[in-house]
Amino acid sequence: MASELPFSRSDSRGPGRPPGAEARSAATALWCAERGWPVHPLSPGRKTPVANCARCRAPGHDRRRCSCLPTGRWCHGFRAATLDPAAIERWWGGDPRLGVGVACGPAGLVVVDIDAHERPLPDRGRLLPGVGIPEEVDLTGLANGFHTLGVLAALRGAASPADDGSTLRVRTPSGGLHVWYRASSGHRWQCSTGSGGGRALAWQVDIRAHGGYIVAPGTVTGAGAYTPVGTVREVAPLPAWLARELERTGHLAQARTPARAVVPSRAREAVLAAGGRAGAPDRALSSLLAEVAACAAVPEGAAFSEKLNRAAYTAGGLVAAGRLGEDEAERFLEEVAERARPGRRGRYGAIIRGGLSAGRHRPLVLGDRP
């Protein structure tokens, strides 16, 4: 899988829309999808999702029963995000001016959004919620999220994420910074905005995770471009100290305990039969399939799309390694998905195809962890 984004750094600098940026929006969306990051369109020149159709904007509309998502329409913002190359080519081919958003939850991402807005300094208690800053500490010069996050990191004996050169970092048009991290499996991190009531990490530091999206690098708005910093395009695991701080500040959702579910027997047999040796793909894949199957007990909020995407990505790696047949992989993924979400083939079919396609770029050999 190529590590370079489909644009050059010189093209993405400064305000305005660089030459050829429209053609590159679709390429950027495909680049993200290849990495297992579901994408959705943003309004031309803006960082907000495209508007819903007239029916979805009607008062009382219930998105849970909406037919737009299963049929591949882009309504409902990040909830429409997809890995399906055909949908991506259809959306951005129809309007290449569209920007690119990445649904953080299904992508397994936690993005630290550091702002540098000119705002009056709040009370000490709001700078680092839950961390007392003694009155004798001089706050002269503290002016934005880079500073508050730096103070928090220093208090924990760690380097600031703003300086983390091991992971993808993206400069925003306003002078802020997005620091991309990969969430550990099984953790459902939540979004936050600001440092007022509710969950918050630091003043002028937001968190983009489940329930939110992030603007993809290379997207250009009326204010300027979202420009990658340095040469790193991979996403590093969320640092342990930062995970502890996010948990302390209420960003980790309480785990739900769904009713016990069993992977359908035919699916399990297909995995074992395709592995060449009993249990080899089963160890890598069966637990992920069980998570998908367990979504049947939780009609809403079970992270079904994320879990199915992870299983499909792992299955794609097994296919690439010759440990699983492609037809068998798609068949048992569809069987498990149908048991969990009956009648939504149009929606979960795109997730399966996109996940398998992305996973085939990373062969999963014996001993690898998905």
CA dihedral (190, 194, 198, 200) in degrees, to 10, reads 60
**pTM for this structure?**
0.69
The rounded distance, in Å, linking the Cα atoms of 226 and 174 is 9
Whether 27 and 2 have beta carbons less than 8 Å apart is answered as no
Tell me what pLDDT residue 184 has: 77
Domain residue spans in the chain? 1-56+68-133+140-255, 265-359
The rounded distance, in Å, linking the Cα atoms of 200 and 126 is 9
At how many degrees (to 10) do helices 326-340 and 280-294 cross? 30
Whether 312 and 352 have beta carbons less than 8 Å apart is answered as yes
What residues are paired with 213 via a beta bridge? Answer: 103
**Residue 73 corresponds to which tokens in the numbers above?**
């329409």
Has residue 122 got a pLDDT over 80? yes
Separation in Å, CA 23 to CA 92, 98, 258, 297 = 9, 10, 44, 43
pLDDT tens-place string over residues 44-94: 999 999 888 888 888 887 877 787 777 778 888 888 898 988 889 999 988
Residue that the structure tokens 């939540």 belong to? 190
pLDDT tens-place string over residues 277-293: 334 455 567 778 888 88
Q: Residue 130, Cα to own-chain centre: how many angstroms?
A: 27
Has residue 17 got a pLDDT over 60? no
Per-residue confidence at 3, pLDDT binned at 50, 70, 90?
Answer: low
- H/E stretch holding 103 reads strand 99-103
Whether 196 and 212 have beta carbons less than 8 Å apart is answered as no
> Smallest Cα–Cα separation from 260: which of 207, 230, 296?
296
pLDDT tens-place string over residues 218-259: 999 999 999 999 999 999 999 999 999 999 999 997 655 444
At how many degrees (to 10) do helices 265-274 and 326-340 cross? 160
